[in-house]
Structure 1
Amino acid sequence: MPLKQLKIQHVRNLDDVSLSPLSRINILYGENGSGKTSVLEAIHFLGLTRSFRNSQFKHLVSEGQEQALVFAQADPLATGQAKPLGVERHLDGQVRARYAGSSLGATDLAELLPIQVINSDTFDLLDGSPGVRRQFLDWGAFHADPAFIHQWRGFKRALKQRNSLLKCGKIDPRVRRVWDAEFIQYAEQMTALRQAYIDQLKPDFEAALGALLQGIEVRLLFSPGWDQGKGLEALLHDSFERDLRQGFTSLGPQRADLRFKVGTLNAADRLSRGQKKLVVSAFRLAQGALFHRLSNRACIYLIDDLPSELDERHCRQFCEFLQASANQCFITCVDPAYLSRIWQPETDVALFRVESGTLTHRGAPGDQE
């Protein structure tokens, strides 16, 4: 279990609160606006130094404060020994992250604390832009293969340089050949790692989907961003004049996408909203299952308003899947009555009441009156 204790300072309406002891399944309940989602944001901040709700850090910091701080006793590497993990970020942009006395960069921190979010924005995996799905794909490839981050950075550098040359309007053919060669090298290697990850993920996705949504087959397809049958070098040559007019590279991994199909139709056009939630949840849960199988480590799941848009049967099936997994979960809801009794007696569950920015540990479900 990655997180043992948590202390949050100056995150939205959470001025100075603690969560202890943490369990594998943690249910945060209270009225709307009480601060439940802010707790999830704080945990996300601990792993990625930012919120999942808004990219502007100033919105995460409590009014009148200059910095946010989240501290934890954590065992993210499953060593059996909890060590201090802290992240502090100031409005002026300064960020400090330390684990067990050592400073961490953003990449090290993300690798240390793998976090998945399931909330209303998760629907974007089906309904949103390809960029959302590429981000999902790259999260998985990053955690699945240490080589991915090197290929990703190399490709981003080559793409940026090639686009800069295209915007100039005139390119020396020799310079163009150099950057095209680097672009192709990184593009093909990065795409191979993405494809390998999808191939590994599919069985877990099918298993999770089968547990959550019976009777509907959803196929997962990967589009690399160009026609691999024709070769990227030839396609870049053929599209050069168009790219020159537009000022950017039109083919490559930056155009990659994931597609979900039900029969011949896009899943987004075929499924109800409740079914969509189950599909995207299965996708997220599959990532955690694969991550655990590859690393023997647990993910942290931040699940905002779990009962929303799920009937009681599907909510139970969702929780049964979480119960059987190795993940640590933080789940918000307004009324804990149903979620507090859905687990098996041996499941490690804790309830926290959130009220006006304060948290009260209410023990295990069996401790409630």
Structure 2
Amino acid sequence: MIDLLHINHVRGLEETSLSLGPSLNLWVGDNGAGKTSVLEAVSILSSGRSFVTSRSKAVITFDKPGLTVFGCVRGESRSHRLAIHVGREDERKLRLDGLTARGQAALSRVLPVLYITPHTTDLISGSPSIRRRFLDWGAFHWSGGSSSYFTSLKRAILQRNAVLRDGILDLSVLEPWDAQIASYGEVIDDWRKTFLDCVRPLFESLCYRLELGFPLSLFYKNGWGPGPLHEALKKNRPREAKAKSTLVGPQRADFEVLRDGERASDVLSRGQLKVANLALTLSQLHAASHLGISPVLCFDDVGAELDDAFIPRVWQAVFETNSQVLATGIDVGRMGLSSKWLRDAEVFHVKHGVIEPK
């Protein structure tokens, strides 16, 4: 939970310090006022990048050398002070509790964040890499924020691919990298499966509660098929030597959302996909809560593409997790919030990049 957020040189926002409430925090104002920029600042502090764009330079105020975001975060057992500075050449300085942080994972570990945005539909119909991020968010936090397995796996795959590109004749030279990939990859695979197993019944329940009208199921694919990963890597060496790339492994993991055995992205309407994607994101939030993780939820542009009758069902599912919520919208009255949910809310008005309590 974020108690204090300080933002400097993020898009068109003026430098500001915000004291946030433990439950619901709202930023309201016209389109283009700078509301989403607040959520982008939180995203940068947690993950090192904006959820809107991967180009850090695009988020920095146009005439400034870099952006800075600082936050006081309260955890289960203690509080932390987080800070990130990002320059125009993507140079970075990370601080955690007054000391230089070794990597972004140190900040992500103490500030887990999830998002509901107008682009959430990409989760089901988008590329496998989007769904891997979904899995790896859960795997990372379920493991207690152990990033070393992910970085070691990525390094081993990059090194193996470099060897394959050299056009080797003796495929046995791949053995050391195969052993490393199998060692790290099968641990990550277990974490991913554990998290998705927790998500699965929650997703099925939320599809029903959001009145989708029919059941959906989740089918996990580990990226190499049945059997041990090491055997799959060894078996595919000749094919990968021709392709000059590693074709099987956890870097190919994915999961499918199915309706009666058919891919949901092929048979659901746009409106049904919207509901299914919301159910999937909300099940991720609920699963995190069940696993003892307390993420901050960033809910951008509430009501932009959701029916007035539908939004309260989404809010009900959100507040059941007792998560801190940071939400943006045009007007409080158009966000589908009842008076009981607004009772303890912190509300801010945003106009031309200036944020003021309302």
Q: For residue 365 of structure 1, what is the aligned residue in structure 2?
A: none
Query: Relative to 1, partners in 2 of residues 1:106 and 1:334: Cα closer, same or farther, differing over 3 Å?
Result: same
For 1:305, the aligned partner's letter is: D
The TM-score normalised by the length of structure 1 is 0.89
Moved more, 269-278 or 304-313: 269-278
Which amino acid letter does the alignment assign opposite residue 14 of structure 1? L
Structure 1 stretch displaced more, 251-260 or 186-195: 186-195
Task: Letter of the 1:135 partner, please give it.
Answer: R
Return the alpha-carbon distance in structure 1 between the equivalents of residues 285 and 241 of structure 2. Answer: 42
SS of residue paired to 1:353: strand
Q: Residue type of the partner of 2:297?
A: Y
Q: Which amino acid aligns with 1:45?
A: I
The one-letter code matched in structure 2 to 1:285 is L
SS of 2:290 mapped into structure 1: helix
In 2, Cα distance between equivalents of 1:82 and 1:160: 37
Give 1:348 shift: 2.6
Q: SS where residue 310 of structure 2 aligns?
A: helix
Residue of structure 1 equivalent to 2:316:
320
Query: Superposed, which structure 2 residues align to 1:208-227 within 5 Å?
Result: 208-227=206-225
Q: Do the aligned partners of 2:223 and 2:249 also contact (CA within 8 Å) in 1?
A: yes
* Equivalent residue letter for 1:167: R
Contact residue 15 and residue 62 of structure 1 kept, 8 A: no
Matched, 1:335 2:331: yes
SS in 2 for 1:277: helix
- Cα 1:359–1:144 change in 2 (3 A) is same
SS at match of 1:14: coil
* Matches of 2:173 and 2:148, distance apart in 1: 23
Q: Size of the alignment, in residue pairs?
A: 357
Are the equivalent residues in 2 in contact too, given 1:158–1:179 (CA < 8 A)? yes
Find runs of 4+ consecutive structure 1 residues off by over 4 angstroms.
Answer: none
> Is the counterpart of residue 22 in structure 1 residue 21 in structure 2?
yes
Q: Which residue does 1:136 correspond to in 2?
A: 134
Q: Distance in 2 between matches of 1:78 and 1:344?
A: 26
Partner of 2:353: 357
CA deviations 1:196-251 (Å, max 9, x no partner) are 2211222232333332234321101101112215x444443443222111110111
Are positions 1:202 and 2:200 aligned together?
A: yes
Structure 2 partner of 1:72: 71
Q: Distance in 2 between matches of 1:154 and 1:89?
A: 25
Shift of 1:58: 0.8
When the two chains are superposed, the root-mean-square deviation of aligned CA atoms in Å is 2.2
1:2-41 equivalences in 2 (<5 Å): 2-41=1-40
Q: Give, in whole Å, the separation in 2 of the partners of 1:303 and 1:190.
A: 29
- In structure 1, how many angstroms separate the alpha carbons of the residues matched to 2:222 and 2:339? 41
Contact 1:117 1:303 in 2 (8 A): yes
Taking the aligned partners of 1:293 and 1:277, their CA distance within structure 2 comes to 24
Q: Name whichever of 273-282 and 7-16 sits farther off.
A: 273-282
Question: Which amino acid is 2:163 matched to?
Answer: L
Give me the whole-angstrom Cα distance separating, in 1, the residues matched to 2:354 and 2:201.
42
1:66 Cα deviation after fit: 0.6
**CA shift at 1:252, angstroms?**
1.2
Are residues 136 and 21 of structure 1, via their aligned partners in 2, closer, same or farther at CA, if it must alter by over 3 Å?
A: closer
Q: Separation in 2 of the partners of 1:102 and 1:148? A: 19
1:319, 1:343 within 8 Å by CA — same for their partners in 2? Answer: no
The equivalent position to 1:89 in structure 2, one of 86, 108, 112, is: 86
Unmatched segments (≥5 aa) in structure 2: none
Unaligned 5+ runs, structure 1? 363-369
Write the distance in 2 (CA, Å) between the matches of 1:171 and 1:153.
Answer: 28
Alignment deviations for residues 10-46 of structure 1 (CA, whole Å, 9 cap, x no partner): 1000021232343511121111111011111011112
Aligned with 1:78: secondary structure?
A: coil
Who is 1:292 aligned against? Answer: 289
- SS across alignment from 1:11: coil
